[in-house]
Structure 1
């Protein structure tokens, strides 16, 4: 499985690093059954995060025809960029939540939505999101009617995009797998390893990272529960 993790300006670092490490370890544990790389809509470039100015390098362009898995992170909010005065620049005068919305909005204005749509229109690839990554898809009009989740602070916004909001840490809808807040990227990666490679590989990676997944992965299966 070839996995591509998307970088865009203002990405949240842990949304990227958590699934990257889990998937990379899964590749090692499976003898190379998973390959993972960092990509951007624009191609190889240095991409600056939205928290602390961490810079990661995208080594290739997002390729919907090559990827078996595409992971879209959320953004990290802040009130300015290093060296900017509080009332100047892109973040001036905004709260972190408002700036977060700006970063997600900018991502939607790039070539990323068209590439994600191309991936979702093809049979085969799975598109997965961490935290606000589902909002990128939703704001691009790609989640209408689909069950999905995001960070708990963004659930109302997600509902406004037409998605069917599910309050779960990981929501598996086949070729679309979404996850909640920032650390849920670990749960997402482990679930994808279990789904694609089996529980033994996923357990080996879980033990390596000394991390136990939280909650039940939601799927549209079984009877509808009665109110409790």
Structure 2
């Protein structure tokens, strides 16, 4: 329900990367680019547009899931990340692609590859329930978050 405050999480897709087009020059059926593009012909883009338009809803995506709202034209001018093989596509949609494990752009929070999904989930838990709860879950999972969460705040480092 995109009108309900909370978090909408878009997972990635599983399948071949589709780096080698078939004989007809088209991506191979069942490849990740084909699966992600197929979502654009469903009701998902409309539901995501409602969610993205509501500041009480946090839209989160990990890996290829970050590409779906971008390909639907919903993230232009925003900061986001995805799997490193999809950063060019993210950039081509008008998104400011960031090479980071987790990017927090307010009501849009994205994670890079599959394993950064753990970092994304723990970060969202910290945002929603607080650092003590997030730390307790880290201990339960015997997993420690990696990296710094990138935010579009503070001074730009020299030379960038």
TM-score by length of 2: 0.89
**Does residue 1:132 correspond to 2:64, yes or no?**
yes
Q: 1:148 matched to which residue of 2?
A: 80
Q: 1:192 matched to which residue of 2?
A: 124
Higher Rg of the two aligned structures: 1
Alpha-carbon distance in structure 1 between the residues aligned to 2:54 and 2:154: 27
Q: 2:9 matched to which residue of 1?
A: 71
Q: Secondary structure at the match of 1:157?
A: helix
Alpha-carbon distance in structure 1 between the residues aligned to 2:121 and 2:90: 22
Q: Deviations over 1:127-169 (max 9, x none)?
A: 0000011110111001101000000011011111110011110
Q: Is the 8 A contact 1:171 1:177 kept in 2?
A: yes
Segments of structure 1 that go 5 or more residues without pairing to the other structure are 1-62, 80-86, 88-92
Segments of structure 2 that go 5 or more residues without pairing to the other structure are none
Q: Is the 8 A contact 2:28 2:34 kept in 1?
A: no
Q: Secondary structure at the match of 1:132?
A: helix
Q: Is the 8 A contact 1:78 1:95 kept in 2?
A: no
Q: Secondary structure at the match of 1:71?
A: strand
**Corresponding residue to 2:28 among 94, 104, 110:** 94
CA shift, 1:67, in A, is 4.4
Q: 2:38 matched to which residue of 1?
A: 106
CA shift, 1:113, in A, is 0.7
Q: 1:208 matched to which residue of 2?
A: 140
Alpha-carbon distance in structure 1 between the residues aligned to 2:113 and 2:5: 24
TM-score by length of 1: 0.63
CA shift, 1:111, in A, is 0.3
Q: Displaced runs of 4+ in structure 1, greater than 4 A?
A: none
Alpha-carbon distance in structure 2 between the residues aligned to 1:65 and 1:121: 9
**Does residue 1:118 correspond to 2:56, yes or no?**
no
Q: 2:94 matched to which residue of 1?
A: 162
CA shift, 1:77, in A, is 1.7
Q: Is the 8 A contact 1:131 1:150 kept in 2?
A: yes
Across the aligned residues of Structure 1 and Structure 2, the Cα RMSD in angstroms comes to: 2.0
**Corresponding residue to 2:109 among 149, 174, 177:** 177
